[in-house]
């Protein structure tokens, strides 16, 4: 029987609360299978700053390096916002982890379950029957990492700040291939989102997507400017299959997509590097949302994004497709059974409001 080593980095805010439920789910799966998980719990983010003085201790990186995959909660919060930007949890831990492991492909599966359409804030007829959009976000380029990046006080006392948007063609190509390959397994349509009417970056992005499309004659390609994409996502979510875009646009559009699906608390993500050759990827798996300081510590956060992130880990890093589907089906079942954490509860007949633990327990019971 095989033992998989997972680096577990719960982080801050609701991170530890939702992580506990994901671990409960993984343990239950393992108890019914011939494999087991060995967890290496490590500090990251604000929790690491408080304990050892830095957001990403060397020990945490080492634990990730010697694991099969990283299960990540989320990091950051008001307590650490006054630190120098590079020492804060987000820029001091999460972005360096993504860069260190070359995790350029961020997959965010926006799934609106038919049973959950009442939780979507948009018009019922637009989401009826549910829908399914996959956001493919480039994760290690663009404004997040481009140099120069600076803040300077000018001689006249004014302050100048610089963030630089940088992409290499090769970086656009590799994320493009991820999107087209994903579309081949789905409804065979890619929407590339850019701002080619203004940004030089986006002109190259669009050119490159057009070139790549020639390798995938079974997939159709459409282009949208990012402002229009934000609108179309609300107006016609069903017109999307795979959406591919650069780092910052993907950050923003994926929160919008999550909310149209019902809640940010439902949106999982997989951050993947190059394939390892056996069809599997080293990856970091985390909810798309943050530490939710407004509800942290209250036991009411939705654990589903974390649990579905664990399912993505099984699929992409361990090749446990059947077990990933088992988790996804269990989540679907509790939603169909009417269980709702506060973020997705609307009072609709046949539904019941539950906390983090009760939702986790129900998913475990449905496995
Ligand atoms: P957020 O993304 O944490 O939450 C936005 C809103 O969604 C809040 O009202 C929150 O309560 C709700 N929400 C999010 N996840 C939820 C869940 N699982 N269940 C129920 N409701 C949920 O908000 P923010 O203000 O953008 O970020 C807070 C902190 O988290 C910041 O420090 C930010 O940098 C950080 N952050 C970290 C990550 C990460 O580590 N991956 C991602 C996003 C934000
Ligand atoms: C996300 C988060 C991060 C991002 C922050 C916390 C750096 O918002 O994963 O979506 O912007 O990538
Ligand atoms: Mn985000």
Identical fold for domains 1-106+264-367 and 121-260, yes or no, is yes
Sheet holding 281-285, edge to edge: 35-41, 2-11, 69-74, 281-285, 270-275, 105-112, 131-138, 242-245, 189-194, 220-225
Q: Which residues line ligand 2 (CB under 6 A)?
A: 76, 90, 94-95, 251, 288, 290
Q: Looking at the annotation, which residues are catalytic? A: 144, 195, 227, 251, 255
Q: Say if residues 136 and 109 touch (Cβ distance below 8 Å).
A: no
pLDDT for 320-365, tens place per residue?
999 999 999 999 999 999 999 999 999 999 999 999 999 999 999 9
Every domain of the chain and the residues it spans: 1-106+264-367, 121-260
Distance 288 CA to ligand 2 centre (A): 7
Question: What value of ipTM does the predicted structure carry?
Answer: 0.99
> What single-letter DSSP state applies at residue 316?
I
CATH class of the region 121-260 = alpha beta
Report the CATH number of the 1-106+264-367 domain. Answer: 3.40.718.10
CA distance 23 to 285: 13
pLDDT for 28-84, tens place per residue?
999 999 999 999 999 999 999 999 999 999 999 999 999 999 999 999 999 999 999
Q: Whose CA is nearest to atom 30 of ligand 1?
A: 290
pLDDT tier, 1 (very low <50, low <70, confident <90, very high otherwise): confident
> What single-letter DSSP state applies at residue 315?
I
The CA distances from residue 32 to 36, 45, 210, 269, in Å, are 10, 33, 47, 25
**CB neighbours of 295 closer than 8 A, spacing ≥ 6?**
14, 301, 342
Q: Say if residues 342 and 295 touch (Cβ distance below 8 Å).
A: yes
Q: Where are the alpha helices (DSSP H) in the chain?
A: 15-31, 46-52, 58-65, 89, 95-100, 124-127, 169-184, 200-213, 226-235, 247-260, 304-313, 321-336, 356-366
Q: Say if residues 221 and 195 touch (Cβ distance below 8 Å).
A: no
pLDDT for 127-164, tens place per residue?
999 999 999 999 999 999 999 999 999 999 999 999 99
Q: Which atom of ligand 2 is nearest to the CA of 269?
A: 9
> What single-letter DSSP state applies at residue 268?
-
Ligand nearest to the Cα of 287, by number: 1
**Cα 187 off chain centre by:** 21
Say whether 80 counts as a known binding-site residue: yes
Q: Say if residues 105 and 283 touch (Cβ distance below 8 Å).
A: no
Predicted local distance difference test score (pLDDT) of residue 62:
98
Tell which residue, 79, 94, 7, 91, has the closest CA to residue 46.
79
Most informative mutation of 121, 264, 309 for ligand 1 (most atoms within 8 A of CB) = 264
Most informative mutation of 290, 291, 305, 312 for ligand 2 (most atoms within 8 A of CB) = 290
Q: Any long-range contacts for 25-31 (C-beta under 8 Å, 24+ apart)? A: 25/307, 25/310, 25/327, 25/330, 25/360, 25/363, 25/364, 25/367, 26/310, 28/364, 28/367, 29/314, 29/323, 29/326, 29/327, 29/367
Indicate the SS3 state at residue 201.
Answer: helix
């Amino acid at each position: 029987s095989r033992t998989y080593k997972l680096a577990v980095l719960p982080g801050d805010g609701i991170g530890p609360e939702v992580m506990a439920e994901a671990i409960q789910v993984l343990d239950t799966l393992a108890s019914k299978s011939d494999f087991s998980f060995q967890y290496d719990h490590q500090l990251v983010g604000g929790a690491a700053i408080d304990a050892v003085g830095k957001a990403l201790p060397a020990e945490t990186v080492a634990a990730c390096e010697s694991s099969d995959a990283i299960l990540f909660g989320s990091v950051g919060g008001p307590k650490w916002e006054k630190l120098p930007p590079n020492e804060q949890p987000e820029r001091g831990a999460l972005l360096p982890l993504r860069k260190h492991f070359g995790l350029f492909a961020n997959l965010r599966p926006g799934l609106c379950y038919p049973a959950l359409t009442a939780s979507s804030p948009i018009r019922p007829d637009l989401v009826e029957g549910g829908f399914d959009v996959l956001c493919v976000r480039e994760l290690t380029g663009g404004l997040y990492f481009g140099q120069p990046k600076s803040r300077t006080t000018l001689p006249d006392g004014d302050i100048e700040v610089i963030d630089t948007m940088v992409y290499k063609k090769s970086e656009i190509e590799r994320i493009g291939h991820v999107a087209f390959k994903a579309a081949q397994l789905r409804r065979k349509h890619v929407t590339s989102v850019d701002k080619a009417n203004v940004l030089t970056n986006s002109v190259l992005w669009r050119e490159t997507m057009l070139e790549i499309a020639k390798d995938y004659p079974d997939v159709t390609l459409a282009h949208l400017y990012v402002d229009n994409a934000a609108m179309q996502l609300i107006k016609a979510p069903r017109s999307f299959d795979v959406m591919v875009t650069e780092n910052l646009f993907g950050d923003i559009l994926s929160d919008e997509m999550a909310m149209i699906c019902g809640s940010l608390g439902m949106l999982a993500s997989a951050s993947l590097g190059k394939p390892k050759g056996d069809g599997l990827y080293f990856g970091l798996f985390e909810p798309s949302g943050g530490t939710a300081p407004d509800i942290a510590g209250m036991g009411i956060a939705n654990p589903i994004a974390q649990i579905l992130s664990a399912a993505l880990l099984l699929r992409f890093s361990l090749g446990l497709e059947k077990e990933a589907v088992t988790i996804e089906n269990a989540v679907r079942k509790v939603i169909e059974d009417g269980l709702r954490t506060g973020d997705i509860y609307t009072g609709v007949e046949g539904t019941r409001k539950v906390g983090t633990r009760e939702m986790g327990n129900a998913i475990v019971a449905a496995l």
